[in-house]
Every structure is written in C-alpha cells, then in structure tokens.
C-alpha cells in the first residue's frame, strides 16, 4: 500500500513558529497568502558536505507549476539522483537533454530503462511504423526509478503539447533487492512528477513485465497490484501485459523474453498493439471502461 504522506518534522516546527509569529504585529515581511492558496513548491539539491538545500522548482508556466499530487515519501527509490558511478551516464544525459531542447515537443513520451531504450534496437521496426514523428524515447539502460526521476527533473522533460507518457520502470530496483512497496513508490513518484509538470499529458503506467529468475514473479505481482491503484480513469491509466508474457505454466515466454528480461521484436509489437486504443484514439477514450488488463 502506498504510504500515507506525513509532514516532515521541520514543517511541524515551522508551523508552530508561524502560529507564534501571527500573534505579533508586524511579524510578516510580505502579504499573507489567501486561505487555501498553495505554498510555492520547492525542490532540493545536495549541498556542500552532503546536506540538502531547498531551491524553487523550475518555472515551466501554466497550471503544471502547481503540485497536484502528494509529495512522495523519502526513500531510496524516490530520492532523485544521477548515476555518477557510470562514467557514460551523465554525458548520455546531456546529449538527451540537448536533443529534447532542440526538437518540438513529442506527442508521446516513452520513459523508462533498457526495455524502453530498446525501442531503438530490437523494437525499431515497430517504432518506425507506429511512432516515427510522434514518439520520443527517454529510456536509458540500467536506470532505476530514482535516476529516471532525476533525468526528468534535470532537463529531459519538455512536454508542452505532449498528449501521453508511457512509463515502464522498476525492474532494475527489484534487481537491487528494493522492497516491493518502495519500488511501487518509486514508479508512482515518476508518474506524479509527469502529471504535475505536464498539464496536457496523460500517463500510461505499465505493470512491470515478467522476468527471470521466476523468484521475481511474486514481487512483480505485488508491485503491480500497487501500481494498479494509481489508475484514476483519466490522467493516469494502468496497463498490465504480464499475462501475455507468461506461458500456461506461469513462466516467462522465451519467444517474447529471449534472455529472460529484454523483449523480442514480437514483444514490442504486442506492446504497441496494447497501447493503440489509448495513443491512437485522438482523445476519444471511454474512461468508464476502467483500466486495461
């Protein structure tokens, strides 16, 4: 179950201080906010000595500036960080960031790890037929939820006019032995960031796909059960392809997962077929039908 977001201790202390301040005439240095008005959202960066320094969120314009979803709990899987140990990773991020800045916003954003990245490899035939001129591939091999979130927060997200984002993430966190609930929270943080920052976008959150060894399947089912709860019938939809990737004996199908993790060309075609009712509907979707299984 997604954790209930509790205010940090520093916020509680600030609230007590503010209550005392209100009792003193002239305490305020600026006009009071109207009742119910949101506080200016802030982000945080690592400062000297490893401390956390608050900073204003990047201005993007429009209603997407407002935080409309709960702040994620502070977990390893939600703590946005770059992969500094991989020397190629930051240069790759900068190249992707430059590409995003130089092109018109894409209609569909594909966000994830190597499985998403491989739309440009094994899945290229399907990509060219279905998404050429429409899609932007924001997949990076080996990424965990926290590094995907960092990329989106640091220049890879330009979504004015984008209609959809397809998010497939979390399998590498399972490789790290992260707790099932924490993995779900990490994926949710990505989804909520997209919803908050991109006012025109709707997000399709994919269930984590089956993989080998089969010992992962229990965790995958539990994470996906949590991700399914994100589906609100409108801005967030849940799509689980797991049953199509398993044999009748409940093990991953080698024809679709040749190495037990990554997809075959046929698997990318199945994925595209499952996305088509959303991506090709021109907004004419019957949300009353609920999520797609």
Residues in the chain, total: 293
Inside any domain, residue 20: no
Q: Which domain holds residue 165?
A: 72-279
pLDDT exceeds 80 at position 45: no
3-state secondary structure the chain: CCCCCCCCHHHHHHHHHHHHHHCCCCCCCCCCCCCCCCCCCEEEEECHHHCEEEEECCCCCCHHHCCCCCCCCCCCCCCCCCCCCCCCHHHHHHHHHHHHHHCCCCCEEEEECHHHHHHHCCCHHHHHHHCCCCEEEEECCCCCHHHHHHHHHCCCCCCCCCCEEEEECCHHHHHCCCCHHHHHHHHHHHHHHHHHHCCCCEEEEECCCCCCCHHHHHHHHHHHHHHHCCCCCCCEEEECCHHHHECCCCCECCCCCCCCCCCCHHHHHHHHHHHHHHHCCCCCCCHHHCCEC
Q: 174-218: per-residue pLDDT in tens?
A: 999 999 999 999 999 999 999 999 888 999 999 999 999 999 999
Inside any domain, residue 159: yes
Inside any domain, residue 182: yes
pLDDT exceeds 70 at position 58: no
Contact 147, 93 (CB under 8 A): no
User: What CATH number does residue 273 fall under?
Assistant: 3.40.50.1110
Q: Is residue 93 among the annotated active site residues? A: no
Tokens 């190249």 found at: 95
pLDDT exceeds 80 at position 81: yes
User: Between these two residues, 35 and 230, which has the higher pLDDT value?
Assistant: 230
Q: Which of 114, 181, 200, 264 is catalytic?
A: 114
Inside any domain, residue 28: no
Task: Report residue 193: phi and psi, to 5°.
Answer: -60, -45
Inside any domain, residue 242: yes
Q: Which two tokens stand for residue 174?
A: 């399972």
Q: Is residue 14 among the annotated active site residues? A: no
The pLDDT assigned to 157 comes to 83
The pLDDT assigned to 161 comes to 79
**Which class for 57: exposed (0-12), middle (13-18), buried (19 or more C-beta within 10 A)?**
middle
Q: Which of 192, 193, 262, 291 is catalytic?
A: 262
Contact 163, 283 (CB under 8 A): yes
Inside any domain, residue 48: no
The pLDDT assigned to 70 comes to 72
Inside any domain, residue 131: yes
Q: What is the average pLDDT value for the chain, to the nearest integer?
A: 79
Q: Which of 54, 175, 259, 280 is catalytic?
A: 259
Q: Give how many domains the chain has, as a whole number.
A: 1
Inside any domain, residue 26: no
Lowest-pLDDT range of 44-53, 108-117, 144-153, 245-254: 44-53
User: Between these two residues, 225 and 49, which has the higher pLDDT value?
Assistant: 225
Q: Label the pairing between strands 236-239 and 52-56.
A: unpaired
Q: Is residue 114 among the annotated active site residues? A: yes
| Residue 89: pLDDT band with limits 50, 70, 90 | very high
Q: 253-280: per-residue pLDDT in tens?
A: 999 999 999 999 999 999 999 999 999 8
Lowest-pLDDT range of 74-88, 148-162, 227-241: 148-162
């Amino acid at each position: 179950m997604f954790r209930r977001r509790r205010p940090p201790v520093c916020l509680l202390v600030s609230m007590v201080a503010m209550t005392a301040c209100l009792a003193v005439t002239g305490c305020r240095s600026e006009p009071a906010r109207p009742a119910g008005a949101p506080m200016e959202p802030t982000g945080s960066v690592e400062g000297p000595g490893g401390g956390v320094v608050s900073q204003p969120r990047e201005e993007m314009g429009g209603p997407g500036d407002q935080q409309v979803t709960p702040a994620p709990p502070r977990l390893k899987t939600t703590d946005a960080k770059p992969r500094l140990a991989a020397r190629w990773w930051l240069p790759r991020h900068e190249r992707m960031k430059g590409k995003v800045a130089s092109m018109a916003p894409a209609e569909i954003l594909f966000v994830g790890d190597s499985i998403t990245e491989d739309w440009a490899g094994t899945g290229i035939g399907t990509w060219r037929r279905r998404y050429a001129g429409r899609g932007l591939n924001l997949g990076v091999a080996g990424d965990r939820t926290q590094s995907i979130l960092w990329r989106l927060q640091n220049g890879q997200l330009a979504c004015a006019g984008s209609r959809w984002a397809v998010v497939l993430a979390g399998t590498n966190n399972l490789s790290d032995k992260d707790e099932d609930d924490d993995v779900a929270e990490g994926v949710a943080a990505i989804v909520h960031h997209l919803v908050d920052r991109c006012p025109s976008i709707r997000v399709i959150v994919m269930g984590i796909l089956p993989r080998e060894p089969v010992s992962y399947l229990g965790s995958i089912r539990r994470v996906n059960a949590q991700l399914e709860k994100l589906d609100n019938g409108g801005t967030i939809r849940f799509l689980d392809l797991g049953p199509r990737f398993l044999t009748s004996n409940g093990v991953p199908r080698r024809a679709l997962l040749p190495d037990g993790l990554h997809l075959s060309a046929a698997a990318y075609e199945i994925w595209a077929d499952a996305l088509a009712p959303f991506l090709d509907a021109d907004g004419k979707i019957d949300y009353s039908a609920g999520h797609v299984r």
